[in-house]
Amino acid sequence: MKLFIGSDHRGAVLKQEIIKNLTEDGFLIQDTKLQNSESDDYPDFAFEVGENVINNEEALGILICGNGIGISIAANKVKGIRCARVLNEDDAFKSKNHNGANIIALAGDMSIHKAMEIVNVFISTKPASEERHLNRINKIIKYENRE
């Protein structure tokens, strides 16, 4: 599985720690091509990760900004992305298994220990399979496609 990761300047330290941990666990991680600076803008990172996730079958994404909200809003503007801001392992599980999330967004001030617990749950959770969840996800997709 390929994982795409990006963050604005407020999430850069956490991003590097997540990359280090996931690489040690054998995952293929691709960071954004954009460089962090004090004047960077979270939408740029969200759009790049979103496009990469959409263009790589079965890929997942991880985004980080100050509180995880702005970057998740921006990511959800990329057609086909379902990004959830997550605060704990239960959010990570349900976002993927119930809501079909393909990207999660984290707060930059989260501890690496907590972030890795969340990321590991998100990665290991199976996609939605129950009919009720699939029906809801398909409604979102149809609406997004203007069907």
Choosing from 9, 65, 113, 133, which is the catalytic residue?
A: 65
Name which of 7, 78, 1 is nearest 36 in CA terms.
7
**Is 133 annotated in the active site?**
no
Q: Per the structure block, which two tokens stand in for 45? A: 């990172």
SS3 of residue 79 by DSSP: coil
**Is 83 annotated in the active site?**
no
Percent helix / strand / coil, the chain, rounded to 5: 50, 15, 35
Choosing from 9, 98, 113, 133, which is the catalytic residue?
A: 98
What are the residue numbers of the active site?
A: 65, 98
